[in-house]
A and B are shown apart, each in its own frame.
Chain A
Amino acid sequence: MRCFAAVFSEPSEQKIATNRLDTLAGWDSVAAATLVSTIEEEFETELDLDALGTHPSFQSILEYLTKESDA
């Protein structure tokens, strides 16, 4: 959540956790690239954006990272 909160300035953590990212204020291509790079650096992984679907959310990314770490 810290990675998400750093990228978005306005929405509350609850709003981030329960909404699609593309519906949140401040979501654009720069925010997407920043979020991906931040997560990749913090989790030392490579994020495959295509695997997250067209409308990524906090939940879908969390599931992706969990699956990756279990693999």
Chain B
Amino acid sequence: MRLLEAQEAIKQSPAPESPVLDVQLACGITPLHFSTFLQAHLRQDFPSHRIAINSGVFGDLPGNLERLGSVVNSFVVALIEWQDLDPRLGIRSLGGWSPRQLPEIIRTVRDQAARISAALESLSSKNRVAVSFPTLTLPPISFTPGFLFSRFECDLRSIMASFSSRLSEFPEIRQVNSQHIDQISPLSSRLDVKSEFNTGFPYSLTHADKLADLIAKLLREQLPKKGLITDLDDTFWLGILGEVNPEGVSWDLDHHAQKHGLYQQFLSSLAESGTLIAVASKNDPALIEEAFRVRKPLLARDKIFPLEANWGPKSASVKKILEIWNVGADSVVFVDDSAMDLAEVGSACPGIECVLFPKEDDKATLQLLYNLRNQFGKTSISAEDEIRLGSIRSSRAVAQVTQSAGYTPERFLREAEGKITISFTKVPPDPRVLELINKTNQFNLNGKRHTDSSWRQYLNDPDTFLMVASYEDRFGPLGKIAVVAGQSQAGTLNIHQWVMSCRAFSRRIEHGCLLSLFQKFDAQEAIFDFATTPRNGPTQEFFAQLLGKAPQAIFSLSRQQFVKNSPVIFLHIQESSGE
């Protein structure tokens, strides 16, 4: 983005009554164009918000951070440059570069780093924090030649590494990946000496833009893709299985097939971090099973679900996989070495991202893995990530049971041994809750979404309650699958948010949740902040069953009505402390 484009983007601000996204920009430099670029990138990421960027005083990063002590539910951005740790490490100071001063500079840097770290740690308990460590080159301060890694510079880097490592322990602190900024903004073109001398703004426009873009990415809640569907022949492994048989396919250096090995290794890592992996292949299923059994690829067979192998069009397999996963095509990436199959799938499954496996290009394959990492990356691995595949398998098992002879919903639910565990804990905020609110479409009371900051604000209101339900039955655990948020006043519940994962449908968990709420708050009535959305049909059906008619915007349901119209709930319901 150019500076002119950034300024014009900022001018397209939403209406004055739009919610404000407060960003506290803490830095020691003049924020100038960085602030402009940051605002412009945040405008793209939060189009319905007005962006307000507040910055502190020049040359005092630690003080600026400490003065933010009372800030809550905000985004805090800390731009650290060498001169913030000791002004002599910048080019605006004439404090001396004498070899005798170097040990003292190291001590100052260590002290300032500790001070900045303490301020950031404290701010992270109530805000989301993004941190950028020094991106500019050190001045020619040491007495050694520039190509020699001096003891002085080694000590500085060591302090920064410890500092960064400590901050990484705090989940709300997100750091710019130095390797990534190195890739997109060459070190030699980051510093604008003239601008630094004239205005105290040291960044070239290009570097300011790239860094601001990364910081904006760190602040927004990026929802990773949920699943990857891969082809096998000449993609997952080198070779056509039907032609060379299991012993003929390869994925190692010896067979010039290392890129396929790296791809498998990468998929295995994705699978273990909760990404769904499936196979869509034009192949003989028995031969594939044999290949996995005999050759043992780096991605184990049990990490793949489902494996669709047949001679029909790939799009049919992909559609079936999406149905089993119960996810939208726009949450999925399809990887194949055939441009024709990619085009066929892309046209049959709008929204799916189709990516060519560059089987002839080693370098491009590595770049593909970097790109996929950005699409599937997440800030942490949750308990839900660890059980996702298991719960989808169990949903499939449930679906098969419901299609079997002699099935009745009553009998199935009675024998399922379903158990929901309810928690009313609001603090600390559980990222899974916000994820459910922002991702769930079908069972969603009104489709309202939250930013991290607006959600924290909601939870901080002492009058609000939050109910989170986890579910498990004899088919396995589904994890945290439902969230209800609202207020309870004088026997009346005001329900503001209610979402439930579609994986939890058909178990009467929604009935169990409502029953629990009536009981917990001894309420006789519930008022729902309901709104019809294009995708919340299941929610409408649920309420229509209880009300005897289609729900209207904001409606009331009495406990008596609920008890009268609710089907039998075959669930064991228990309350936990929320841990």
Is there an interface contact between A6 and B205, defined as CB atoms closer than 8 Å? no
Q: Which residues on B are within 8 Å of A, measured CB to CB?
A: 2-4, 7-8, 11, 32-33, 36, 194-195, 198-199, 201, 205
Q: Is A37 an interface residue (CB 8 A)?
A: yes
CB-contact partner of B4 in A2, A29, A46, under 8 A: A2
Check A37/B2 contact, CB under 8 A, given A7-B7, A9-B11: no
Is there an interface contact between A41 and B7, defined as CB atoms closer than 8 Å? no
Is there an interface contact between A42 and B201, defined as CB atoms closer than 8 Å? no
Contacts of B205 in A (CB 8 A): 37, 41
B50 CB, nearest partner CB in chain A, Å: 14
B180 CB, nearest partner CB in chain A, Å: 24
Check A37/B11 contact, CB under 8 A, given A2-B4, A42-B4: no
Contacts of A7 in B (CB 8 A): 7
Contacts of B2 in A (CB 8 A): 41-42
List A residues 1-54 near B (Cβ within 8 Å): 2-3, 6-7, 9, 29-30, 33-34, 37-38, 41-42, 46
How many A-B pairs have beta carbons closer than 8 Å: the answer is: 34
Contacts of A30 in B (CB 8 A): 32
Q: Which residues on A are within 8 Å of B, measured CB to CB?
A: 2-3, 6-7, 9, 29-30, 33-34, 37-38, 41-42, 46
Is there an interface contact between B7 and A34, defined as CB atoms closer than 8 Å? yes
Is there an interface contact between B33 and A6, defined as CB atoms closer than 8 Å? no
User: With A and B bound together, what is the CA distance between A38 and B205 in angstroms?
Assistant: 9
What residue in chain B is nearest A29 (Cβ atoms)?
Answer: B199
Is there an interface contact between B7 and A38, defined as CB atoms closer than 8 Å? yes
Q: 28 A–B contact pairs at CB < 8 A?
A: A2-B4, A6-B4, A6-B7, A6-B11, A7-B7, A9-B11, A29-B199, A30-B32, A33-B195, A33-B198, A33-B199, A33-B201, A34-B3, A34-B7, A34-B32, A34-B33, A34-B36, A37-B3, A37-B33, A37-B195, A38-B3, A38-B4, A38-B7, A41-B2, A41-B3, A41-B205, A42-B2, A46-B194
A13 CB, nearest partner CB in chain B, Å: 14
User: With A and B bound together, what is the CA distance between A34 and B32 in angstroms?
Assistant: 8
User: With A and B bound together, what is the CA distance between A34 and B10 in angstroms?
Assistant: 14
B2 CB, nearest partner CB in chain A, Å: 6
User: With A and B bound together, what is the CA distance between A34 and B35 in angstroms?
Assistant: 11
User: With A and B bound together, what is the CA distance between A30 and B32 in angstroms?
Assistant: 7
Contacts of B201 in A (CB 8 A): 33
A49 CB, nearest partner CB in chain B, Å: 9
Is there an interface contact between B4 and A3, defined as CB atoms closer than 8 Å? yes
Contacts of A33 in B (CB 8 A): 32, 195, 198-199, 201
What residue in chain B is nearest A9 (Cβ atoms)?
Answer: B11
Contacts of A38 in B (CB 8 A): 3-4, 7
In this complex, the member of A3, A33, A37 whose beta carbon has the largest number of chain B beta carbons within 10 angstroms is A37
